[in-house]
Amino acid sequence: MTMKSFNKHKKVLTLVICWSMTIIILLTIFSIFYFREKLLSMDASNITNYKRYDKHYALITSNMDLPFWESVYEEAKIEAEKYNAYVEYVGKNLSGNYDVKVLLRIAIDCAVDGIIIEGSEDTEVTALIDEAVQKGIVVITVLRDSPKSERQSFVGINNYNLGQTYGQQVLKIKDKDTKRILVLMDSSSSDANKNIIYSSIKQTIQKEDAKNKRLDIQTVTVDNENTFASEEAIRDIIMDTKNLPDIMICLSSIDTRCAYQAVVDHNKVGLVDILGYYYSQDILSAVQKEIIHSTISIDAKQMGALCVQAINEYTRAGRVSDYLPVDTQVITLENVSHYLKDENEKMITP
C-alpha cells in the first residue's frame, strides 16, 4: 500500500464511521417519529379530537335502527354543521330502550336548543312538546305530526299526495281479477291521517276507474307500538288464504319488509302485489325480483336538512312555516337499479 492510497483509505474510513453514526442516529429518531405517528393515527377516537359547536339539537324517533332515520340523521347532522350546531340522536347510545316520551323528557332535561321529533298524537307527547316549547326549545315534528301541540313546524310528506301516489300504483297493476286492496295502517297515526290516506287512495282509484266499483279497499291497523306485533299481524293476513288481498299497501318500511318476507315464506309470490313504503337494501332487491311491485321513496336527506333549516329559521326569525313538504318518488322495476347502486355505495363507504 502506497502512502497515497493509505491516506485515501483513512479518509474513506472517517467517512464510513461518520455515515454509520449518522445512520444510527437518524434511524433511531425516524423510528421514534414513525412510532408516534402510528400511535396517533390509531388513536383516532374523538374523545381527544373533537369539534365544538354552539347549538345542540336532539333527534328523537320511535325506531332508531331504521335506515330511513339513519339517512335523516346523517343529513341533519351535515346540515347542522353549516350552522355550527350538532344533532344528537337521543337514545342511540343509551343502554336502555326508551320510547319517544322518555326520550323527549330526557331531551328537555338535557336543555338542548332544538328538538326534531317523530311526532305522534299521544297526549303525553303533546304535553311534553308543549313543555319543551315553553322552556324555549324549538320543536320540529318530522314524518308524523303532533297537530295539537305547540310545535313550531312539521316536516313530512303530504298524506293526500301519498294516497294519490298509491292509488295511481294500484291503477297500474290492477287487472280484472283484482278485488281486494288492503291498506296496512299504522296504529300510531291519528285517525285523521289514516282517513286522509285512505280516502285519497280511494278517490284516486275511483276517479280513474269510476265504472268499476268492484274494487274493495280495506284498511287494517297494525299495532306498531308493541315490539314484534306488526310482523305477527301481517303474517296472519297472508296466511288467511281465503281473504288474501290482491294488493297490499304498506305504510311503513317495517310493514313492507314483513309483508315481503311473509309472502315469500308462504309461497304467495305473484298472488299478492305489495306496494311498499320507503326502501332498504332488501326492499330494493325485492323490487328487482318483482316480489314488491313498487315502493315509495321519501327524500330522507331533504327531510333531515329541512328539519335543521326549520329550527334555524325559527331561531333566527322567530317564525317558520307550519308545514314543510318533502318530496316522494315511486321506485319500480324501471328505476330500482339506480337506488340499488346508491345503496351499494353507501355500504362500501358508510
Phi, psi of 316 (to 5 degrees): -75, -50
Contact between 31 and other proteins by CB under 8 A: the answer reads yes
Question: Which residue's CB is nearer to other proteins, number 80 or number 254?
Answer: 80
Residue with cell 299521544: 122
Considering only 85-93, 230-238, 304-312, 325-333, which stretch makes contact with other proteins by CB under 8 A? 85-93
Contact between 11 and other proteins by CB under 8 A: the answer reads no
Site string for other proteins, 43-82 (x = CB under 8 A): x-xxx--xxxxxxx--------------------------
Question: Which residue's CB is nearer to other proteins, number 52 or number 242?
Answer: 52
Considering only 4-12, 224-232, 291-299, 304-312, which stretch makes contact with other proteins by CB under 8 A? 4-12
229-239 vs 253-265: helix crossing angle, rounded to 10 = 40
Q: How far is the CB of 280 from other proteins (least distance, A)?
A: 25
Q: How far is the CB of 98 from other proteins (least distance, A)?
A: 8
Q: Could you tell me the strand order of the sheet in which 180-186 lies?
A: 216-222, 180-186, 247-250, 273-277, 292-298, 328-331
Measured distance CA(220)–CA(247) in Å, rounded: 13
Q: Determine how many CB atoms are found less than 10 A away from the CB of residue 169.
A: 23
Could you tell me which residues come within 8 angstroms of residue 128 by beta carbon, excluding any fewer than 6 positions away? 101, 104, 105, 108
Size of site (CB under 8 A) for other proteins: 49
Mark out the alpha helices in 58-176 (DSSP H runs).
67-82, 100-109, 123-134, 159-173
Contact between 5 and other proteins by CB under 8 A: the answer reads no
Residues of this chain that interact with other proteins (CB under 8 A) are 1-3, 6-7, 9-10, 13, 16-17, 20-21, 23-25, 27-28, 31-32, 34-35, 38-39, 42-43, 45-47, 50-56, 85-86, 88, 93-96, 98, 102, 105-106, 109-111
